[in-house]
Amino acid sequence: MQLAPRKSNSQFKWPKKSLSALDALSAGKLIGAAADVALVIDAKGIIRDLALGSDDLIDEVADSWVGRPFIDTVTTESRGKVEDLLAEAGGASATRWRHVNHPSPRGSDLPVRYCAIQFGTDGRLVALGRDLRAMSSLQQRLIETQQALEREYARLNQGEARYRLLFQMTPEAAIVVDAATLRIVEVNPAAEALLARRFKRPAGRAATDIFDKASLPAVQAMLDTVRIAGRAEEIAVQVGGSQDDVMMAAYLFRQDSGAYFLLRLTPSAPDSQSQIVSRSKLSLLRTAEQLPDGLVVSDHNGRILSVNETFLTIAAIASEERARALSLDQLIGEPGIDFDVLLANLKQHGTVRNFATRLTGDSGLVEDVEITATELSDGDGPAYGFLVKPAQRREKGGTTTRSVEQLTELVGRVPLKELVRESTDIIERLCIEAALQLTGDNRASAADMLGLSRQSLYVKLRKYGLGDLEGDE
C-alpha cells in the first residue's frame, strides 16, 4: 500500500478555534518574540508601533521610526522593495521575504529581511523582520579568508616556478629517483647531457642502469644509508659509457605521500661535459643576479662577499663595494643577537628556513624580513648563502593565518588535492565557529544561519571537536 505524500502545514487549519483566546496583548508578545524587528503599519504605509528583539537594535532604531512612513526609513535602493512589500500585503497569505537596508546613525547600513501580512479590516499590516548583520559579517569574513588563500596560492605558484627554473638551470646533473622502485622520475638538462651517451630518454628507466656494474654495490650501499640517515658522504662512481669518475651525492625527500632520492652527479675530469656545466653555471649566476629576493654570500664571520641587485635595493645600499665593507651582523636584527642565533643554527643544522628578523638598511630604514640560509662548500674556508625576502603581511585572525602557514610548509610533501581539502576544512571550521559565536552557541540558530540541518551541523561539530555534544545527545 503506497502512502500519500504528507503535506506541510504552512498555515493553521482552524485558527478561529485554536487561537480564539489570543487577545491583543498576547498577540503583540507573540509577534515581538517571533521576529528581530516587528512593525505595525497603517493603510497609508506609516509605522504606528514597533517591537525590537535586542538591545543593540534598540540603540540603532529607538523610537525614531514611529510616525514615519516605512518607505522613508530605508535607503534609496530599497524603496522599490518596500513598495512591492506593501502592495502584496493585501492578500490572504504573507508576502515573500525581501532584503532591505535601513540607514544607521553608526555609519554602516542595518540589513533586515522582511515579510508582511495584513490583519483586521482597516488595512493595517504587520511586517516581520530578521536582522541580517550576523550573516553579513560572516560573509565578509569568508570573502576575506578566500582572498587570503588566493594570495597564498599565487605566492606558492610563483615560488614553485622559481625553484623549477633553478632546477632546470643548475649546472650540476640532478636526477629524481623513486625510492620504492628506483625508477628515474625526472632529470634536468645537465643530467640529460651527462647521460646522453647511454640513454636518449632516461625518465622511466631503472636508476641502476646508468652506472657501471663495478659501481653498483657502492651505489646501493649509499642509497641504503641515505634511506636511513637522510644523507651520506659523496662517492666516486662511473656512469655507463664513460671511463671518467663522477662524484655522486644523494638526498632523501618526501612528496605526494612517497619518498624520493635526489642524485647529484658532478664530473671529476674536465671534458666537453664540464664545458656544458660552465655555460650553465654562467646562466645560473645571471639568474641569481635577477632573483626577486635578495641574495647574499658571506664568510664565516658574516662579512659580506657578494650580493645581488635585489639585496642592494632592500637594504638601501648604494653599491656592491659599499656592501662588501659591511657585516651582516650590522644589518640583521639587534647587533650581536639575531645574527649570532642564525649563525649558530647554521653551524648546527646546515640550513635555516624562514628566519624572521629585521633588516636595517644603510640609510637607517628598518624592514621586517624572512631569511633562508645554507652552508656553502668553499675551498678557501666556510661560507654561507642567505636568501632575504620581505616578510609576508599577515591577515587579521590568528587561527586562519597559522593554518595557512602550516599548509605552506606541506607544499612539496602533500598532493595539491589534499592541500585544497585541508583548506576547505579550515574555512568550514572558521564559519561554524563564527556562527556559534554570533548565535551565543545556539546550535539550532547556527545551523539555520549556515544553511545546514541540525543533524548535519552536529556531524561537523563532532568532526572538528567543537563543543560538548554529550548533553545534547
Decide if pLDDT at 120 tops 80: no
Percent over 90 (pLDDT), the chain? 0
Q: pTM of the prediction?
A: 0.34
Q: What is the dihedral of CA 375, 378, 381, 384, to 10 degrees?
A: -30
* CA distances to 343, 373, 401 from 298, in Å: 11, 11, 33
Q: How far apart are CA 219 and CA 211, in angstroms?
A: 8
Q: pLDDT digits over 123-167, tens only?
A: 788 888 888 888 877 888 888 888 888 888 888 888 777 777 777
The domains of the chain, with CATH numbers, are 23-131 (3.30.450.20), 134-169+399-473 (no CATH), 171-281 (3.30.450.20), 293-390 (3.30.450.20)
- Computed over every residue of the chain, the mean pLDDT equals 77
Q: pLDDT digits over 304-351, tens only?
A: 888 888 888 888 888 878 888 888 888 888 777 778 878 887 888 788
Decide if pLDDT at 85 tops 80: yes
Q: pLDDT digits over 371-381, tens only?
A: 888 887 655 56
Q: At what angle do helices 443-450 and 454-464 cross, to 10 degrees?
A: 100
Q: How many residues does the chain have?
A: 473
Best mean pLDDT range from 39-48, 222-231, 263-272:
39-48
